[in-house]
């Protein structure tokens, strides 16, 4: 196998085993768990031999990280809109009707190598990976990692709720500005709802809202609005069919994204305009 990174042990002032010493000596192994996985796969050599967690470290030893064998990945040749890209991460505009990832060929994940440039970062991932997901019928901004350290950092930012997302949704009926906090699968969940406009079309009431999820439960916005009595139009799982709008899919789009770039520390702010099908609905409807 090809050697990816090499480390020569400098002066060691105290006895220490490899499992403690080797954390973070390689750019592409920033955590204890990633180190343990590499050791288990025999991807770390100590003086040319497969290393063990219990090995003692001494001055002058050579520790090498090997490139893992990568199975050739089938690429889905779907053209995507790229909103932003650098060596470490990217943001793409996910179209509706395609899963983010999963045990399928036609996924956004499998289309990323067709659309994004290969990263030149030292810890570049074998292929770009989404760090969160959007439901199959949902369109909008999707954040992608291109390097291992950035993948870890973005996952941490999501866990610490330091990545803000916002969505446009068209819902059935009238609704007021709300904080929705019904638990989902016995876990805390919170969504802030801001009402933008109320409409009436052929005696049906609709509301255009912006949703700000403060937690990241599966189908959170859809479940919260349905429990409120204002299901999202086109939601076949949690909603009800509209007599007027029945062929335009789910009226939910992830249009806002805000976070700090893990490498440059720059504040990244992205905002998509109101999607076309929302604008077409507004032209047909009247404000109430």
Which residues are catalytically annotated?
135
All residues at 6 or more sequence positions from 220 whose CB lies less than 8 Å from its CB, including other chains = 184, 189, 191, 213
- Which of 84, 88, 160, 164 has its CA nearest to residue 120? 88
Q: How far apart are CA 226 and CA 235, in angstroms?
A: 9
In sequence order, what DSSP letters do the residues of 227-270 get, joined into one string? HHT-PBTT-TTTS---SS--SS---EEEEEEEEE-TTT--EEEE
Which residue is listed with tokens 């969504």?
A: 191
DSSP code, position 26? S
Evaluate whether 137 touches 96 at the Cβ level (below 8 Å). yes
Evaluate whether 149 touches 30 at the Cβ level (below 8 Å). yes
């Amino acid at each position: 196998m090809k050697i990816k990174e090499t480390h020569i042990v400098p002066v060691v002032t105290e006895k220490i085993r490899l499992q403690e010493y080797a954390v973070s000596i390689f750019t592409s192994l920033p955590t204890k768990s990633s180190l343990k996985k590499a050791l288990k796969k025999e991807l770390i050599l100590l003086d040319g031999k497969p290393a063990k967690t219990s090995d003692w470290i001494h001055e002058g030893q050579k520790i090498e990280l090997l490139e893992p064998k990568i199975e050739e990945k089938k690429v889905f040749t779907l053209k995507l809109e790229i909103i932003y890209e650098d060596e470490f991460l990217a943001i793409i505009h996910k179209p509706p009707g395609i899963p983010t990832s999963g045990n399928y060929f036609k996924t956004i994940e499998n289309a990323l190598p067709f659309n994004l440039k290969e990263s030149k970062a030292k810890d570049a991932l074998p292929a770009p990976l989404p760090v969160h997901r959007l439901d199959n019928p949902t369109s909008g901004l999707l954040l992608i990692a291109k390097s291992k350290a950035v993948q870890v950092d973005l996952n941490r930012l999501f866990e610490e709720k330091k990545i803000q997302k916002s969505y446009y949704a068209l819902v059935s009926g009238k609704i007021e500005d709300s904080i929705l906090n019904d638990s989902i699968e016995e876990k805390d969940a919170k969504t802030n709802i801001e009402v933008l406009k109320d409409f009436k079309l052929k005696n049906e009431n609709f509301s255009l809202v912006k949703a700000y999820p403060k937690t990241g439960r599966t189908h959170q916005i859809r479940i919260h609005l349905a429990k409120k009595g204002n299901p999202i139009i086109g939601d076949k799982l949690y909603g009800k069919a509209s007599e007027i709008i029945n062929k335009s899919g789910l009226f939910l789009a992830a249009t806002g994204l805000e976070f700090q770039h893990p490498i440059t520390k720059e504040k990244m702010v992205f905002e998509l305009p109101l999607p076309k099908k929302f604008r077409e609905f507004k032209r047909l409807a009247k404000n109430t």
